[in-house]
Structure formats: structure tokens, C-alpha cells
Amino acid sequence: MNVSKSASCGLDFCSVPDLKNCLYIANVSKYQFVIIPLVHPNFKREFIFGSAENRSGPWTRSDVILCSSVHCIFIDWNTLVVGKLSPHIYVDSKVPAVAKNSEETLCQEIALAIHLGLVAITFKLNGILKKNMNLARIIFNKLAATPHFQAQIWVQIPMENPIKQAYFYREDKDINQLKIESPWQWWNEFRIVCDYNRKLIVALIVSHDLPDKEEIDRWLGEPVRCLIIPTTVFITNKTGFPVLSKAHQMMIKKFCSLKVQFVITGASRHQNIVYYYHYIDHLWKNWQPNGPIDSFARGFEDYLQCPLQPLMDNLESGTYEVFEKDPIKYTEYQSAIQKALIDIRLQRKNINNNETIVIMVVGAGRGPLVRAALNASIKIKQKTKIYAIEKNPNAVLTLQALQQEMWGETVIIVSSDMRKWNAPEKTDILISELLGSFGDNELSPECLDGVQKFLKDDGISIPCSYTSYIAPVQSSKLYNEVKGCKEKDKHPLSHFEMPYVVHFQNKYDIDLPQPLFTFYHPNKDLKIDNSRYGKNIFKVKQDCVLHGFSGYFDAVLYKNIKISIEPRTHSPRMLSWFPIFFPIKDPVNLKAGDEIVSHFWRCCNLKKVWYEWAIEKPIPVAIHNPCGRSSTIGL
Amino acid sequence: MNVSKSASCGLDFCSVPDLKNCLYIANVSKYQFVIIPLVHPNFKREFIFGSAENRSGPWTRSDVILCSSVHCIFIDWNTLVVGKLSPHIYVDSKVPAVAKNSEETLCQEIALAIHLGLVAITFKLNGILKKNMNLARIIFNKLAATPHFQAQIWVQIPMENPIKQAYFYREDKDINQLKIESPWQWWNEFRIVCDYNRKLIVALIVSHDLPDKEEIDRWLGEPVRCLIIPTTVFITNKTGFPVLSKAHQMMIKKFCSLKVQFVITGASRHQNIVYYYHYIDHLWKNWQPNGPIDSFARGFEDYLQCPLQPLMDNLESGTYEVFEKDPIKYTEYQSAIQKALIDIRLQRKNINNNETIVIMVVGAGRGPLVRAALNASIKIKQKTKIYAIEKNPNAVLTLQALQQEMWGETVIIVSSDMRKWNAPEKTDILISELLGSFGDNELSPECLDGVQKFLKDDGISIPCSYTSYIAPVQSSKLYNEVKGCKEKDKHPLSHFEMPYVVHFQNKYDIDLPQPLFTFYHPNKDLKIDNSRYGKNIFKVKQDCVLHGFSGYFDAVLYKNIKISIEPRTHSPRMLSWFPIFFPIKDPVNLKAGDEIVSHFWRCCNLKKVWYEWAIEKPIPVAIHNPCGRSSTIGL
């Protein structure tokens, strides 16, 4: 059931007289797994009044059925089979005997599934928490306390509340007035009571009428690993094959990036069940994300990385290589440098083209910006002198080699920390690429403040400004990832008090990003202060959960030349930066119409810089990372 | 400033030209400490535009003032003086220069207070979180990251919102429509953002008009350590002395059990400021809690104890001694036994008084119930034969000595676990005292089920039933105590997943207790099942915070003879049981009118019993203690 280039598709059986035959049917039609009842309904058991204990016959098929033919015990059970819990189980019944009997049945079926080593157990969640409190307790008990519990629990949830669908065609009732809760609420409450257990997975049952866009998008922030598509949802095209409506196609496209699996359920309404598979596989292959960022980022989806600290640590050769590959960033820098050179030439009218313009590249790395500056100079035939300052001695080696082999004396290599260097002359243009995913988070402001004394009064800094952005995010995936980062000897909250660089995939954007902190260069304030404080107010469109904030930046390199990773203005095909994620320690339940009021601080002392963040509304959440106790960026 | 038999009272000074003189004035008038500004307002400093750094004179008095005369450096500062932060500090100003300058001032004053080693720093909190986010951040930063931060922070909060008071006499505005938030909201939001830091303490400013009873009671669940009483709140009695109104007296009485200190503030409006002290001290001494439970429980207020496990562990001699001292419990048992003996006599009319009635005391300990049974028999002249079964061999020694010296052959001592013993005959009455604070939590049901086979078909069990009760509770004190119980090698939530026995003091009852689980003895069910599930719905009267549930029990010993620790029916003067506390991992903010829906489970397997609990509404909270992972009671 691993994700491959073909869609992973399963076939749902409502009853299984002969399991081997089922597997054969599924297999010849290209389905990779089957969903079958764990126990035949005829074997409904009775524990409370003693009949189950007294019965002598077996209560379900033996676990050796699959193995006799293939000589590999259990192997099929744990790759091919998802087990369905009996639908008559009703542990929240108000009739004590029914509840008690259901509990025994449930425990027995789960024990069987564990014994067989199934990949997953699945059941339908019907209704709000009130009706499922005992179910939640028993499932959570099994998950929390069974150490060898390998199976996932697929919680089947309809995309639309069946009650809403039932009322849809009735004119005597106004659906909006009925306040029918969304099935997402069922899921949200259920998993909260199960303490966000990672093994709880959503299997969405695709409905005929789809909910509106926002509701579908909200599922993108949940651990949806399976779409269950009833055969009745398919329509027949002109040539007689099953296809999906445009709306359904678009919905499925959204989930393709979450690497979902599919399950076809219901009686075949077309010539051959393989057609459903073919169609799903066709959609899947069409919609595999395939942009340069996607292929670059493959495997990094929702993976938490600690932000780089290039100021404190020297980057490795491989890291340089990755970033130098960016097809966009250095082109933009080159355009910016070119424009700046032209402007300087125009401004100083007395300068003829033979006078040299001085450029300093601070933090030159292995030279991509030096190359950009050289290219720009050549292109507009402007004589330049380029200082390349780099503190990493290993990178300096590369620079020196390039200088000797290619650049010649136009370029002067300086092996020094830019903050300690004493420049022999002032520069016309100061170029740097010190920006992190959150703009200032690699301490570009502090570094550039330190070197701006070498910039002429009318000199130009590239970049000349940058702004960070934040947006509220729902992502139970990321919440769970951060929760799993707990380290024993650190402050118990420290994993929630640091930002992570992450290629977001499984998330729902609660509201659009808003600007947070802006820095300008050169900074001509009398007393430079790079601490910042920002308060943002976001709107909540529908009930959802806040798990943290996504962070982005954009930068003005020079005049209209900008680079951005803010989603609405993202520089096409630029891949140097993934966004950043600021988690919060406790998920906050949000209601449609709520305001989220967030507070972010950028704090500085002589040795380090750090962020603190907190929430004021809808409910207050404690200040994260006070005094930088969990994460700082060293100067 | 420790709590003694006299009230601890401080005197507030708005300006201090001569500190030694101030202390002298306070001291001769019996005040134990003073509250003074940390810095004279004339020394208002200016950091942003450089003047503070350039000024050469001192910015406040020297720290050696107090020491020269008494030859003990600093000792006075850290017992006698509470420092007030400058009222002009406004770190949340929207004018950046004011905010920045305020921050510098605030940090300097806090540093001074730390340097002097003051017991406490105090400031007035004005308004909602929105207006105090930066203040909260800076205070929390200092608390979280200054390891030698010994001082408490006294947050001064008015009992009534000044806006409400201002509108009170105006007829053109309806106060109820204005939705003026209570100052408790200011506090609640502020301390949440400061992550419930233990050093944040409430100093309530007593207002002329008191809020209603519920609002005052809500403060009893907060860490109120000081009442600040303006002199203008006092009225003058016939003899010319300052006294408080009845309403104010009643309010102060409530806080006396929290061991608050007092501060008198404002100009003296009576002949001598000592009169205020005398009056407060008079109230204080009158209202020291002095019942038998209070004196028995002194020192145990809000102290968390793990429930006893007498079934697994043998009790110590001292423990027996404490419980045998109960003046009520054994009297009630004796009455119940007496009534049962009479009933048996009446029922078996053919029995003349000479026939022997058999009594078994299971878990006889050091014999108090044997004594009660003997007393009852003697009183109604009924011949009895008493089996005293006890598993603790050390307690058996005491029983055997008593039997030889006093009881004689009427009493038969059996040294055995009641669950393993084989009785030589069946008994008429089965007596036990296996109840815990939560009724069944010391496994009385399981034990009595095991021995009821020795009870005659028409035999009587004493107790014959018991019921546990729960009630939702606000107590930031207990929340913080539980939070502090974190143990490194256990599950990160385990301290929130166990019940604690606790003598509640600093708490607010959100709603009245409701019954939860009931057990009857003898249990004549075909299949005995001691697992239980209970769902309770509580009403929230005003905005507050849920920190957990208090637990109680009552028991029917026999017919109308009951014992109870449920507050409304508490057996007077009975002291054997403190209540129990079930914490929840995250405080839940509640709104007036909300419903709290709680779910409790009593779970059993062959080896142990445990509780699980969760909340469904107003927001779901995860199931605590799944599978008894954090706490169980061993069989």
C-alpha cells in the first residue's frame, strides 16, 4: 500500500463468502487491497447472557486461509486487507446490555485485527461526540495502551452530513436554519478526545453533492489518507465508461497532493470494475504535482527542519550547491544590480563610463552574487570593482580559485567576517543574500547594520527592504509532528517554542497572510533598533482549529525587482526557501466569525535574537519562548 | 510577613521622602510591612533620547539607607518592603517612544527590586489583555528567565470595574447593557498569557460597592494573597473608630481562610492609623477557622496527597491512630449495628435473646469496628459472636492483645486476607470500613463482592450502599500544584491523570456536586459488574475556568444511618476523609450559561481498577488516564 506512480486503489466488499476469491477479483482488476468485514454478520455474538462463551464453533474465518497457498504466513493479511468493524457495534447505546455486548464485540474484533497484523481497521463515524464518547474511549484505550498496535484506524466520515443531503430537496425546511453540524465537527471532537493520536486517520466518503470549497479545503488540514468513492458517484460518459463530474475531479485533485489512497465501494454499475480503477489512476497520474518546486521538494512534504544559522555555523558545500541551483533568485539579483548600476551612472552625470563603480558582496559564499554582479557589469559595459567578503574559509577557497581562473583582478576576495572587516574604501552598492524564510530570521538586519558604514551616503543596498508575513494555519499533521519532537532534557514546551522550516502540504489556510515586520537598508535611524512588535487580526470563515502560523517573506531587491515566497506573490519557480512554521502549544478551537489576534515580537540582545509569540483572541494563549528560553538565533 | 496569629497588615505610602521615618511610622502603628514606590516620580527617566544615560546623579535612593543603623545588610528590604512600579510606565502605549522608554524603565525598576531582594513587586492592572499584552510579556519574561527571581509579583486588581462604578449612579445608561467586563477577566487573561506562573499573585483592591456573591466567590479560586483596603472604605462607628460595613466584613471573612495579608492605603481619616490595624486584626482573630476539621486539617490546605491503597499496602500504626480518632464515624457505625441487631431480632421472631447473632468485621484494623459491634451488643443486650478479619499482621497483633485483655471469646481474630479466607459459618451482619474519599476508590465493591458468600441470604451489609459525587471546580492553586508534580520518567501527562486527596481551601465551586457511581451490598446480580460509566451535566453561572473536579461520597450504613463528606450533607465533625480531586490537563475557559458535560468511567480488569475521565462540552478534552496508564488501584 505504499504510494507509487500508479494510484493505490482498494475494493470494498460488504460480505465475503470466500476471501481468496475476493482477493483474486480485486487483483485481476488492478485493485491493490480489499476492505472486508472482520466478522461475518451471522456470527453476531452475545457476551452478556453467556451464549458467546458457550458456543463451540468458530466466530469467524481462520487466519490461515490466505497462507496455505502462498507459503508465507500472514504476509497477505498485512498488505492486502483492511478490516471493517461490525456495523451493529453500538457501545454508546443507552441500553446497558447492548452497550456492554458491543464493547466486548469491539474488543474482540480489534484483538483479531491485531492478531492478523492488518494495516488498518475501519469503521463509520456517525454523529457528534455525544453519541460516540464510549467509542472514542475504547479506541483511544487500544491506541494508547497496546504497544504492538501497528494498525491504523481509518475513521470513515461522510463529506456531507446525510441529514443535510436529506433536507436538500425539501422546501419546507431552510437548511441554514437547521444548524446541521458538519461531519468535520464529528471528526474534530472525536480526535480531540483521542488526544490527537497519530494512528487515527480520516477516510472521507465522497458524497454526490459536494460541500463548498472552504469545507473541502478544511479537510486538507486533516490526516486524510483515503477517499472512499461509491460507484453511484460516477457518471457514464459517451463511450460508456465511468467518469466523475468536473466538481468531483477538482476535489480529488486537491487530495492528490496529500498522497491519498482510494477505495471503490458499492455494486459495479459498469461492465467491469477495472474501469473505475482506470479512471482514478488516470486522474492521479494527470495531477501528480510536477513543477520545479514540487520535484525539488519531493520527500520534504510537512517535514520539520530547524532553520539554518549561517551566521553561527558554516554552511556545507552541499548546502551551497542546493541554493545555487535556484533558477530565479540570481537572475533577479542580476536585474537589480544592473538597474542600480544604470541609476548610479545616470545620477552621477559627471561620471563617464570609464569610472569604476564599487560593489561589495557581503557573505559571498561560493560566488553566485559575484557572478551576477559581473554579468550585470558586462551587460551594460560598466567598469566595476567587486569586493567579495566571506567568513567561511572553505567557501573562500572556492572564491579564490574562481578569481584566479576566471574573474581576474576585477574581484577582490576578502576572507573575513563582514562585521569585523575594515574596508579600504566605501562602496556604491552593497549586495547580500542573508534572508531566511521569515526574512530577518537569519539576522540580515544586524549584519547589514554592521557593514553599512562602508556604504557611500547615496549608496544602494540590495536588498533594500524585506517584510515577513504570517498566516493562521490548521494542520493536525504539523501539530503532531511538533508534539513528537519532545526532548527529554529540555524545557517541556521547548519543541512548541521554536519555528520550523517546512514545505507545507497537509494544511488549511484559515486566512490570508498579513505583513508583520519590515526592515529597510541602509538604516539611517539615529539609534538603530531591530526589535519589533506586531499585532495582527485575522478573520475565521468557518469552524476550524488553529495549530500555528505559517511564515513567509518578500524582499525588494531594488525598485520594482522583488523576490517573494508569500503565496499570492511567490516568484515563479524560485525554490531557495520553504516557508516557516510557528507552532502553538495547544490547538485553539475556532468558530466561524471569530477573530484571531496574534502578537509577535522580535527580541534582541547583544548576543542573540529570538521571536516570542502569543495569542490574545479568541482565547489567550501563553507567550511562547519567553526570553528565548527554547530557541534563539546567535549573532 | 509570615502568617501568625495576628493579622499581617501593611501600610501603603504614595511617596517616601524618608524611608526610615516611614518604617518607623508603620512599626509603631503595628504594621508589619510598607508598600513604597521603587523610584521617586521626580526621577522619571528618559532612555530613548539619551538623557538617562547622560545624567550623572542617582535615579533613586541608595540601597544602604536601611542598613547603616542596624548593621544587617539588606535584611530589612526583604522582609519589610514591597516595591511599587512607577505608575507612569505604559509599555503598551501606541507611541513607540513612550512604549520603549516605559520598557526600559520597567526593566530597570525590576532589576532594582531584585537587587534589593524585595519580597514583592506590585503594580496596578488596568483593563483587558489587549491593553496589557506587552506588560504581560515583559513580566513573564522576567519570571520565566531570571533564575534568582525570588520576589512575588502582586498584581493589584480592583474588585469592581471602575467603569461600572462610574455608571452606577447614572440613569441614562443601563449597566447590564454596557457589557462591562469584570476585572477578574483582566486577571484571567493576564495570567494565562503568563502561563499560570506561580509567582503571580493577586492583590485585590477592596471597592466601596462590592460585587455580588458569585463574583466574590470566584476570587476564592485564585491566588489572592492580599486585600488592599482604602481608608475611605471604612465607616466611623458611634465611638469614633473606623469599622467596615457588614457586607465588607462578610467578604473579608471569606478571604481569611486563604491566609491573606492586608494593606491599608490612603490618607488617615481617623485619629490614628493604628485603629485600622486594630480593627482588621480584630476581624482576623474572630474569623480564624476553628472547627475540629479545621484544626485537624491545619497545614494540609490544598496539599495534594496520593490516595491510600490499603488493599495493596499495609497501613502504618500512625495512620490507624489518626482515623480511629474520628469522633463521629464509629458512633454512626455503632448506631447502624445496633439498629441491624434489633431488626434481625424482630424479624426472626422465633429467636429469643439468648440466640447468638454472628457478625463479621472484614478489615478490622486495630479494632474500632469490633468495639462498636461489642458496644451495640451490650447496649441492647444481644448475644453476639464477632469474627474480626484483618490481613495486616501488625494490626492483628493489636487485635489479639485486645482480645486477650478485654474482649474474651466473643471475638474471634482471623489473620487473613478476607478474599482468601474460608469462613466456618455464615454471618448475619457483615461490617466493613473500606470506603475512600470517592466511595469505591479503595475497592470496597470488589472486596465485599468477594466475602458476601459468607453472608446469610437475609444478612445485612454495613454499609449497604455508597455513592460518589463530583463537582466542577476552579482552582488555579491546585492546577499549579498538579503542574508542579511532573515526573521525568513518567508519561508527560501522568500527573494530570491521577486523582489526589486534598483538603480544598483555595477553590471556587462552579456548580453543586452531582451523584456519579452507586454500589449496593450485598450485590445479588447474576453477573457482577463493578465497572461504571457516568455522564453529568453542570451549569456555569458566570465566566470562570475549569481546572478539574472535586469528588466526595456518602454512604448508607444501615437504613437512615448515613455518613457523608458531600458538602451539603457532610456529617458534622467527621474528619476521616478529605475530598478527592480529579485534575484536567488544560484549563477550560467557561462562559456564563455554558454547560459542562463530563464523562467518568470506572474500569476494571482482574488485577486493578482505575478511573478515566473526559469532557465533552463546552469543548472536548482528551480522555485522561486511558487504560490506567498513569494511575490504577491494585486488587
Determine, for residues B137 and A622 on separate chains, whether the beta-carbon distance falls below 8 Å: no
What secondary structure, in 3-state letters, does B594-609 show?
A: CEEEEEEEEEECCCEE
Whether A131 has a binding-site annotation, put simply, is no
Which A residues in the span 333-372 are in contact with B, Cβ-Cβ below 8 Å? none
Q: What is the DSSP-derived secondary structure letter of residue A11? A: E
Checking if the pLDDT of B72 tops 90, the result is no
- Nearest residue of A to residue B622, measured between CA atoms: A193
DSSP reduced 3-state for A488 = coil
Determine, for residues A130 and B616 on separate chains, whether the beta-carbon distance falls below 8 Å: yes
DSSP B238-294: TTS-EE--HHHHHHHHHHHTTT-EEEEES---SS-THHHHHHHHHHHHHTS--SHHH
Q: Determine contact: B484 vs chain A, CB below 8 A.
A: no
* Averaged pLDDT, B253-260: 91
Phi-psi region of A256 (alpha: psi -120 to 50; beta: other; left: phi over 0): alpha
* Nearby residues of B234 by Cβ (< 8 Å), 6 or more positions away: B242, B243, B244, B269, B270, B276, B279
Residue B488: pLDDT band with limits 50, 70, 90: confident
Q: Which one of B53, B102, B133, B613 would you mutate to disrupt binding with A, by most A Cβ within 10 Å of its Cβ?
A: B133
DSSP reduced 3-state for A332 = helix
Which A residues in the span 14-43 are in contact with B, Cβ-Cβ below 8 Å? none
Q: Kindly list the residues from chain A whose CB atom is less than 8 angstroms away from the CB atom of residue B601.
A: 137
Mean pLDDT of chain A: 89
Residue ranges and CATH numbers for the domains of chain A are 9-41+65-170+179-290 (3.20.20.150), 317-433 (3.40.50.150), 465-634 (2.70.160.11)
Q: Is the ipTM of this complex over 0.90?
A: no
Checking if the pLDDT of A54 tops 80, the result is no
Instruction: Please write the tens of the pLDDT for every residue from B301-334.
Output: 888 888 777 777 777 777 788 788 888 999 999 9
Phi-psi region of A476 (alpha: psi -120 to 50; beta: other; left: phi over 0): alpha
* More reliable by pLDDT, A324 or B145: A324
Least confidently predicted of A39-53, A477-491, B30-44, B478-492: A39-53
DSSP reduced 3-state for A253 = helix
Checking if the pLDDT of A55 tops 70, the result is no
Q: Which one of A195, A531, A588 would you mutate to disrupt binding with B, by most B Cβ within 10 Å of its Cβ?
A: A195
Q: Which of A189, A222, A442, A446 is catalytic?
A: A442
Checking if the pLDDT of B74 tops 50, the result is no
Of B429, B408, B407, give the one whose Cα is nearest residue B361: B429
DSSP reduced 3-state for B316 = coil
Percentage of residues in chain B having pLDDT higher than 70: 90
Q: Determine contact: A94 vs chain B, CB below 8 A.
A: no
Determine, for residues A193 and B622 on separate chains, whether the beta-carbon distance falls below 8 Å: yes
Distance separating alpha carbons of residues B299 and A307, to the nearest angstrom? 50
Mean pLDDT of chain B: 89
Task: State yes or no: is A566 an active-site residue.
Answer: no
Instruction: Please write the tens of the pLDDT for every residue from B344-396.
Output: 998 887 556 678 999 999 999 999 999 999 999 999 999 999 999 999 999 99
Amino acid B59: pLDDT? 61
Distance separating alpha carbons of residues A283 and A277, to the nearest angstrom? 10
Q: B608 to chain A nearest CA, in Å?
A: 15
Q: Which of B189, B222, B433, B446 is catalytic?
A: B433
- B503, B575 contact by CB (below 8 A): no
| Highest mean pLDDT out of A126-130, A301-305, A492-496, B546-550 | B546-550
Q: Which one of A588, A627, A632 would you mutate to disrupt binding with B, by most B Cβ within 10 Å of its Cβ?
A: A627
Amino acid A167: pLDDT? 73
Determine, for residues A133 and B589 on separate chains, whether the beta-carbon distance falls below 8 Å: no
Residue A79: pLDDT band with limits 50, 70, 90: confident
Residue B487: pLDDT band with limits 50, 70, 90: confident
Amino acid B307: pLDDT? 79
Amino acid A244: pLDDT? 96
Q: B95 to chain A nearest CA, in Å?
A: 12
Amino acid B44: pLDDT? 62
**Which grid coordinates belong to B538?**
453542570
Residues for chain B: how many in total?
A: 635
Q: Which member of B137, B140, B627 has the closest CB to residue A145?
A: B627
Of B624, B629, B445, B626, give the one whose Cα is nearest residue B531: B445
Distance separating alpha carbons of residues A559 and A150, to the nearest angstrom? 56
Distance separating alpha carbons of residues A575 and B576, to the nearest angstrom? 70
Checking if the pLDDT of A436 tops 60, the result is yes
Residue A2: pLDDT band with limits 50, 70, 90: very low
Burial bucket for residue A64 (CB in 10 Å: 0-12, 13-18, 19+): exposed
Task: State yes or no: is B433 an active-site residue.
Answer: yes
Instruction: Please write the tens of the pLDDT for every residue from A504-521.
Output: 999 999 999 999 999 999
Q: Kindly list the residues from chain B whose CB atom is less than 8 angstroms away from the CB atom of residue A622.
A: 140, 192-196
Distance separating alpha carbons of residues B307 and A193, to the nearest angstrom? 26
Whether A46 has a binding-site annotation, put simply, is no
* Averaged pLDDT, B437-453: 94
Q: Which member of A129, A145, A627 has the closest CB to residue B620?
A: A129
Distance separating alpha carbons of residues B599 and A137, to the nearest angstrom? 10
